[in-house]
């Protein structure tokens, strides 16, 4: 039984953050959700507002804030390519200043702080599957760099605060995750394909669809994120890859979405965006060995749950956060 804690979730109104807040509240913790609502809507946390252990703060992590907490999950950052490329300088500030501010808070409060890092720190990887020891292949000058390099700098800051100031950190590298409450206009592949399939629009396959990704269902991901935060093992602070190691081509994904939705949509090819990684699959040996975790929900089952959720919402209730989706 873990003791009850005051927990800050930055980016807590987002796709992953809102589900994390929900799970932490279920465990009885006091949860502060901090968000500037750039890529999310209040509807994600509306159902939590009546909970007396839940507090919602509208705030931007690029500005310092003083709170007293025991744990911080740092998720605030636009995550979809169309979102993080909309204002790339702001994206970099969010990762770097956001990290400095939560680390400063953790240092002051003696709190433990977990960074939501990403498989993007591996860039377009030459090593496959990706292990945590692989240092990555990122184009520092490309359109994805604001996100990739911002997240890499945040990892560096976490390690330096840990080594220099003894801050209690945890680093997780999240691979592509999907599920209910993804923003339907975030432009990510699963939300695009499901939205397009349900409205019988063309399914936009970028390139020839031979690039691969490995998709993890939200519930599996949040389970391991909480495990890592509470894991007590001398010297094991991460980074640890978290994701589902089953790899699919994007064309296979498109075909599966058409099959599961019974859609009449056509799959049409569009230009591949610059620096789009050609392959991605996590090696999750460390997560298995140290956290005794592996994903339980495979793509077909997770997609069905996600499609059911997309069918239950009204698209007109959602405002695209940025013009590209």
Q: Which residues are catalytic?
A: 147
Task: Name residues contacting ligand NAD, limited to 34-63 (CB under 6 A).
Answer: 35-40, 60-62
Shorter beta-carbon distance to ligand UDP: residue 40 or 176: 176
Q: How far is the CB of 253 from ligand UDP (least distance, A)?
A: 8
Q: How far is the CB of 135 from ligand UDP (least distance, A)?
A: 19
CA 249 – CA 277 distance, rounded (Å): 12
Spatial CA neighbour of 79 closest among 4, 171, 187, 5: 187
Shorter beta-carbon distance to ligand UDP: residue 5 or 188: 188
CA 203 – CA 138 distance, rounded (Å): 28
**Residue 134 within binding range of ligand UDP, rule CB under 6 A:** no
**Residue 293 within binding range of ligand NAD, rule CB under 6 A:** no
Q: How far is the CB of 117 from ligand NAD (least distance, A)?
A: 7
CA 72 – CA 118 distance, rounded (Å): 17
**Interface segment toward ligand NAD; rule CB under 6 A; list 105-113, 175-183, 201-209, 230-238:** 175-183
The H or E element that residue 10 is part of is strand 6-10
Q: How far is the CB of 133 from ligand UDP (least distance, A)?
A: 21
Residue 85 CB neighbour total at 10 angstroms: 19
**Residue 75 within binding range of ligand NAD, rule CB under 6 A:** yes
DSSP annotation of 202? P
**Residue 16 within binding range of ligand NAD, rule CB under 6 A:** yes
Residue 164 CB neighbour total at 10 angstroms: 9
Name the token pair of 53. Answer: 């252990």
**Interface segment toward ligand NAD; rule CB under 6 A; list 72-80, 232-240, 256-264, 270-278:** 72-80
Shorter beta-carbon distance to ligand NAD: residue 146 or 174: 174
**Interface segment toward ligand NAD; rule CB under 6 A; list 11-19, 125-133, 273-281, 292-300:** 11-19
Shorter beta-carbon distance to ligand NAD: residue 30 or 35: 35
Residue 74 CB neighbour total at 10 angstroms: 29
Name the token pair of 13. Answer: 């109104």
Name the token pair of 120. Answer: 């993007």
CA 87 – CA 192 distance, rounded (Å): 21
Q: Which does 40 bind (CB under 5 to 8 A by kind): ligand NAD, ligand UDP, none?
A: ligand NAD
Shorter beta-carbon distance to ligand UDP: residue 27 or 249: 249
Ramachandran region of residue 110, left (φ > 0), alpha (ψ -120 to 50) or beta?
left
**Interface segment toward ligand NAD; rule CB under 6 A; list 29-37, 133-141, 158-166, 289-297:** 29-37
Task: Name residues contacting ligand UDP, limited to 175-204 (CB under 6 A).
Answer: 176, 188-189, 192, 204
CA 151 – CA 104 distance, rounded (Å): 17
CA 257 – CA 203 distance, rounded (Å): 10
Name the token pair of 62. Answer: 């690029």
**Residue 104 within binding range of ligand UDP, rule CB under 6 A:** no
Is residue 123 within 8 Å of 277, Cβ to Cβ? yes
With CB under 6 A as the contact rule, the residue among 88, 143, 273, 320 that binds ligand UDP is 273
Is residue 301 within 8 Å of 65, Cβ to Cβ? no
Binding residues vs ligand NAD (CB under 6 A): 11, 13-17, 35-40, 60-62, 75-79, 94, 116, 118, 174, 176-177, 183
């Amino acid at each position: 039984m873990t003791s009850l804690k005051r927990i800050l979730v930055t980016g807590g109104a987002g796709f992953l953050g809102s589900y994390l807040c929900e799970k932490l509240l279920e465990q009885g913790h006091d949860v502060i959700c901090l968000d500037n609502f750039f890529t999310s809507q209040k509807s994600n946390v509306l159902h939590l507002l009546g909970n007396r252990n839940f507090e919602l703060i509208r705030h931007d992590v690029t500005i310092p804030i003083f709170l007293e907490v025991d744990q911080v999950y740092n998720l605030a950052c636009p995550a979809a390519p169309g979102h993080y490329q909309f204002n790339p300088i702001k994206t970099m500030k969010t990762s770097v200043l956001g990290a400095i501010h939560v680390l400063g808070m953790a240092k002051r409060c003696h709190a433990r702080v977990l960074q939501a890092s990403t498989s993007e720190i591996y860039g377009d990887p030459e090593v496959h599957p990706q292990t945590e020891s692989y240092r990555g292949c990122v184009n520092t000058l490309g359109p994805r760099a604001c996100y990739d390099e911002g997240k890499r700098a945040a990892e560096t800051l976490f390690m330096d605060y840990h080594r220099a100031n003894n801050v209690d950190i945890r680093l997780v590298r999240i691979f592509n995750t999907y599920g209910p409450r993804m923003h339907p206009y975030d432009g990510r592949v699963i939300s695009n394909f499901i939205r397009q399939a349900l409205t019988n629009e063309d399914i936009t396959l970028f390139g020839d669809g031979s690039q691969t990704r490995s998709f993890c269902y939200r519930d599996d991901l949040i389970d391991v994120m909480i495990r890592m935060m509470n894991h007590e093992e001398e010297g094991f602070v991460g980074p640890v890859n978290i994701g589902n190691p089953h790899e699919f081509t994007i064309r296979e994904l498109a075909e599966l979405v058409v099959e599961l939705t019974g859609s009449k949509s056509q799959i049409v090819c569009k230009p591949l965006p610059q620096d789009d990684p050609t392959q991605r699959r996590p090696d999750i040996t460390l997560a298995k060995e140290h956290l005794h975790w592996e994903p339980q929900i495979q793509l077909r089952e997770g997609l069905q749950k996600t499609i059911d959720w997309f069918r239950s919402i009204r698209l007109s209730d959602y405002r695209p956060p940025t013009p590209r989706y």
